[in-house]
Amino acid sequence: MKHLLPILVLVITLSSISQSLLAQDAQFNLDRKINLKNQDSVEKNIKINVSEGTINVYLGIECKVSMGNVTIEIFDPNGVKNGNFSIESQIEEELPIRAEYYNEIVEGQIEQRLESPIKGTWVIKITPEKATGNVHIKTKHYINY
């Protein structure tokens, strides 16, 4: 009976610690869609803020174009490029044209898991050249408070 009390105290303590550790983890998801219309050629910089306590970030970028080309680049807060890709429609189209009549739709994507990412503002640079299409950015931040 006298061994039961220390075991009970130990079980309650461990249970309390594990519950507080589990309660501190969080996940933040962001889903952003950018339309590129009418042969868009305007550069766009999308900012992703990585806060203190972020364990890792999942980054998924999908791009579709029916006209023109698009380059996607990922930069960390220090300005270092961490990934890029380009897609290009190879069939020339004349505007105006209805979407259901496009001869070609090109799709590309990049997925990254950033382990222990640098805290600060990451930038996704979208550079379209006479592009019609869209860019879909998904992020998942895993945070320990």
Q: What is the DSSP string of 82-123?
A: EEEEEEE--S---SS--GGG-S--EEEEEEEEEESPPSEEEE
Domain spans of the chain? 27-144
pLDDT tens digit sequence for 15-49: 555 544 454 589 999 999 999 998 899 999 999 99
pLDDT at 139 over 60: yes
Is residue 127 a contact partner of residue 46, using CB atoms and an 8 Å limit? no
CA angle, 145 then 136 then 88, to 5°: 140
Q: Identify the pLDDT of residue 14.
A: 58
CATH of the domain spanning 27-144, picked from 3.50.50.60, 3.40.190.10, 3.30.70.920, 2.60.120.380: 2.60.120.380
